[in-house]
Chain A
Amino acid sequence: MRLPERFFSRLLLAYLPFMVYPYDLFRAGAAAVWVVVFLWVTVFSFWFTRRLFPGRSIKHAFFLWLIVWAQAAWTLTRLPPHWVLSVFFLMPVSFLDAEAKPGHIRVFSREVPRYFFERALGGSAFVIFVMVMVFVREAGEKKFGIRLFEQPAGPLFVAAGMAFLWKKTHRFSWG
């Protein structure tokens, strides 16, 4: 059984905005947790309300929601809005696909826990991924004094190594 490569691509794309944050491990971790919590709240909210949006307006509503929350997070915590890109890349593709139609799934069906379990697993993987990348960057830059980690080249080389290992060793499936 294999993990789909597209999952790694979403993780990596969602991590890229974190290269811009000059945060240490703790603050980067807090920002990643915020991204995941926001993602879960967004998925939860839109899952149950998506039938209320006529036509393709759900996409407009999603981006308006993102912008409003980016403003709120900046006003309250001074968190720069780069994290909205991470949320965008982690969102389930079907939410923003104009061709996708809402499935007729009951609120209390078995599909719902499975769906949310997958989102929870994806979110946790993202936090771990960000923490590992920031840890490696900090160690490379501050402890070992590798100058490549002062700029995006270092994290990108680490990401290349992780992508290589991912292709080589992924063993289980998301179901």
Chain B
Amino acid sequence: MYSLIIALGFILALRGGRPAPLERPLEGLARVWLDAADLFLTTGLILALEAMALALDGSREFAREYALLGFGLGAYLLSRYQKKTDAFFLAAAVIVFTIHERQNDLLSALSLAWVTSAGIGIFQTGFLGLRYRLLFSRVPVSARGWPALCLLAGCLSAVLWSAGRLIF
């Protein structure tokens, strides 16, 4: 699950929505957490709909056999309704599928959705902060762009991993 949070956090930080201006980090911060809340609501709603489909006799068989199809369509429709990006829709579908594979109970699944969305929010907050600090640093031309971004994401991943191990 940790790899999923870092991979999707990195993807959503770069392709998740309108790029927040680095010069106004507070605006970017608000967007990051709004997106994290939207991600939690989207994944939570799909998980709740799935639990409802499994509870009904008429839809139980379809929900079991074609769960992924349902997740994909649900994520697509909800993302379009919220005017989110394509990367957001795919990330939401993948998160719901991963949670569905790990948890059968709705409450546990919602908790995991919350943890995943919060984890992505924390990663993106740290990433935004590091990118903001980078604005005031002298980065060599050859290290600008992807080398710096990967390095920042790697450092953040290592720090969050260590912090997680200390806390849990």
Chain A residues with Cβ under 8 A from B142's Cβ?
164, 167-168
User: Which residues of B in the span 47-103 have a Cβ within 8 Å of any Cβ on A?
Assistant: 65-66, 68-69, 72-73, 76, 86-87, 89-91, 93-94, 97-98, 101
By a CB distance below 8 angstroms, the chain A residues around B66 are 71
> A151 to B97, Cβ gap below 8 A?
no
**B124 interface contact, C-beta 8 A:** no
With known contacts A152-B157, A153-B155, A167-B145, A17–B7 Cβ distance under 8 A: yes
In the complex, whether B153 has a CB less than 8 A from a CB of chain A is: yes
Q: Which of A68, A82, A160, A166 contacts B151 (CB 8 A)?
A: A160
Tell me if A68 and B150 are in contact (CB < 8 A).
no
* Shortest beta-carbon distance from A90 to chain B in Å: 13
A1-31 contact mask (Cβ, 8 Å, vs B): 1 or 0: 0000100110011001101100000000000
Size of the chain B interface, CB-CB below 8 angstroms: 40
A63 within 8 A of B: yes
Bound-complex Cα distance A81 to B70 (A): 13
Q: Would A151 and B158 count as touching, CB distance under 8 A? A: yes
> Does A41 sit at the interface, judged by CB under 8 A?
no
Shortest distance from the beta carbon of B19 to any chain A beta carbon, whole Å: 14
A157 interface residue per 8 A CB criterion:
yes
B90 CB contacts on chain A under 8 angstroms? 66, 84-85, 88
Number of interface residues of A (CB under 8 A): 39
Q: Among A8, A12, A81, A160, which residue has its beta carbon within 8 angstroms of that of B68?
A: A81
- The verdict on A156 contacting chain B, using a C-beta distance below 8 Å, is yes
Q: When the two chains form their complex, are residues A85 and B94 in contact, meaning their CB atoms are under 8 A apart?
A: yes
Residues on A with C-beta less than 8 A from B155 are 153
Task: Give the residue of A9, A17, A20, A66 whose beta carbon is less than 8 angstroms from that of B146.
Answer: A9
Q: Complex: how many Å from CA A88 to CA B89? A: 11
Known: A160-B147, A168-B142. A153 touches B158 (CB 8 A): yes
Q: Return 21 A-B CB contacts under 8 Å, by A number.
A: A5-B146, A9-B146, A13-B11, A16-B10, A20-B3, A66-B90, A67-B69, A71-B68, A80-B97, A81-B72, A81-B93, A81-B97, A84-B90, A84-B94, A85-B11, A88-B86, A156-B6, A156-B154, A160-B147, A166-B146, A167-B146
List 9 extra interface pairs beyond A70-B72, A167-B146, CB under 8 A.
A19-B3, A20-B7, A71-B72, A84-B94, A148-B158, A156-B151, A159-B150, A160-B150, A167-B145
Chain B contact residues, CB within 8 Å of chain A: 2-4, 6-7, 10-11, 14-15, 65-66, 68-69, 72-73, 76, 86-87, 89-91, 93-94, 97-98, 101, 142-143, 145-148, 150-151, 153-155, 157-158, 161
